[in-house]
Structure 1
C-alpha cells in the first residue's frame, strides 16, 4: 500500500460512517422531506468519492480492491457537476444499502495498515 493510501481510506471510511449516522433512525420519507439531511449526506458522499478518486490516482492497486470504486467516484461527479439530476431515492439506497458494505471493506483495508 502506498504511503498516501491510509489517510485517504480513513477519510472515505469516516465520511461513510457520518452519512450512515445522519440517516440512522430515519425512514426514507424523513430523508426525502428534509433538504438539510440530503445536503449533509451529499457532502459526505462527495468526500467519499473525492478520497477514493485520489486513492485511485495514488494507489490504483488498493483502489481496485474496493468494490464499485469507479461507480462511487462517478456518484461524486454527479453530485458535484449534475446536482440538478440527483435522484434522492437512489441516494437513500446508497446510504442504507451500499455504505455499510463499503465501511466494512474500508475498515478491513485500514486494519491491514495497522497490522504492519
Structure 2
C-alpha cells in the first residue's frame, strides 16, 4: 500500500470537493433534502475530506488559519458515528460556505508542496 503523503491527502480532499461540486450543479437544497443518493454521496465526500484533513500537519494547517480545520475534522465523526443527528441544512450550508475557502487553501498548499 502506498503511504498517503500530505500531497496525496490534499489530492483526495480536492477530488472529494470536485465530486461534491459536480453532484450539486443545478441542485437546490430541496433537491438535496429529497435525494437519499445525493445526500449519501455528498456526506461520503465530506467524510473523505474530514479524514484526510486529520492527517495534515499542524504546520500546514497553520498556513491557513481562516479554514475551520477543527470543524472539518469533527463533522466526519458526526457523519460516521452520529448519522441520525445529521441535518441536511447544516451539510448544505457547510458545502456552500466552507468548501470554497477550503478548496482555495488546498490549492495553495498543493502548490507549496510540489
Paired positions, count: 109
Shift of 1:19: 1.1
Shift of 1:72: 0.2
Query: What is the 5 A alignment of 1:48-67?
Result: 48-55=49-56, 59-66=57-64, 67=67
- Give unmatched runs, 5+ long, in structure 1: none
Q: Deviations over 1:78-109 (max 9, x none)?
A: 00010000011110111122111111110111
Equivalent in the alignment of 1:108: 108
Classify the secondary structure of the residue corresponding to 2:27: coil
Classify the secondary structure of the residue corresponding to 1:26: coil
Query: What is the 5 A alignment of 1:24-103?
Result: 24-55=25-56, 59-66=57-64, 67-103=67-103
- Give unmatched runs, 5+ long, in structure 2: none
What TM-score, normalized to structure 1? 0.87
Q: Deviations over 1:65-84 (max 9, x none)?
A: 34111100000110001000
Q: Runs (4+) of structure 1 moved beyond 2 Å?
A: 63-66
